[in-house]
A = this chain, B = another copy of it.
Amino acid sequence: MDLIAEFLLRVLGQFQSPSLAFLIGGMLIAAMGSRLTIPDAVYQFAVFMLLMRIGLNGGMTIRESDPADMILPALAAMGIGVGIVLLGLITLARLPKIARADAIATAGLFGAVSASTLGAAMVALEADGIAYEAWVPALYPFMDIPALILAIVLAGMGKAKSDGNTVTPWFIVKDSLRGSALSALLLGLLLGLLTRPERVFETFYDPLFRGLLSVLMLVMGIEAWQRLSELRRVAHWYAVYAFIAPITHGLIAFGVGYLLHQATGFSPGGVVLLALLAASSSDISGPPTLRAGIPEANPSAYIGASTSVGTPIAIGVCIPLFIALAEVVFTLP
């Protein structure tokens, strides 16, 4: 009983995080009809900075750590990404009034990963002093790419075989890697691994990351509100799925992470980040890839579900939830 009370208190304590505040602030001003906008160039640059920061730090850490430590978590991330899409196929896709292609695309987007949510999770862990292996954020593509590939392949198998325009898995991998998000992340990884970007990391990418994240959160809040009208135009099951999926996916990944912790000493912070990679849904790189790969799916369904409900739930509910859960499960101070 004490444990539950402590857990709830810790969840509440997370609610003053600036990331969540800026997200809600963005939703609020959009709801009030504010004309405040963040220029698109600033948004794109903030995303680039965020992914370079994750990539550079990941690369510099992998350089100094044993790559063998990463193998199991990377496999786990792949399995979770694939599992989320299959779970969507046997739940969302079977609901009434749901088109199969729309359901698969939505599950693919929820299996893919959001860099902004990941960034907000990193800042929240740091604020609570919960350590993690610095390469954990670099697990991003291991969950992201398999989820998108599986979704596009499953959607393609469902289509009439007469359609000659088949997309091979290898094409999807290449197309994902060429997207701006994964390009920036992998470029950062490579530069961190092979060169000495310590100084530019410490004086530029790292200090600006936290501030630009607050700007990103604001943009995502504004977007979330504006996309709500699109979500209203599709079956309500998308909203239900988008509400339940982040928590469910996060809990599954938390369980997997817990097993890794027991087996290999994977850090509590790493378990939380793995759960939040699973809880997040793609906002930058996923949508264009899906639009190209599953052209028959309705973007209002999958983008509306992810941007308007999935992301706010991942940041507003899952980040406090899984940090509090870790603090109780791993008896952190």
A residues with CB within 8 A of B: 16-18, 21-22, 25, 28-29, 32-42, 44-45, 48, 127, 174, 177-180, 183-184, 187, 190-191, 194-197, 199-200, 203-205, 207-208, 210-212, 214, 218
Contacts and interface: CB of A to CB of B under 8 A. Distances in A.
B39 A183 contact: no
A29 B187 contact: yes
Contacts of A17: 195-196
A59 to B, nearest CB: 11
A203 B208 CA distance: 8
Contacts of A212: 204
B205 A208 contact: no
Contacts of A21: 191, 194-195, 197
Given A36-B180, A36-B183, A39-B45, A16 B195 contact: yes
Given A21-B197, A29-B183, A41-B39, A34 B178 contact: yes
Contacts of A42: 39, 41-42, 44-45
Contacts of A208: 204, 211
Given A16-B196, A17-B196, A187-B218, 19 more contacts: A21-B195, A22-B191, A25-B191, A29-B183, A29-B187, A32-B177, A33-B174, A34-B177, A34-B179, A35-B179, A35-B180, A36-B48, A38-B45, A39-B42, A40-B41, A42-B45, A203-B207, A203-B211, A204-B211
Contact of A205 (B178, B187, B211): B211
A218 B210 CA distance: 22
Contact of A41 (B41, B194, B197): B41
A199 B41 contact: no
Nearest to A37: B180
A324 to B, nearest CB: 17
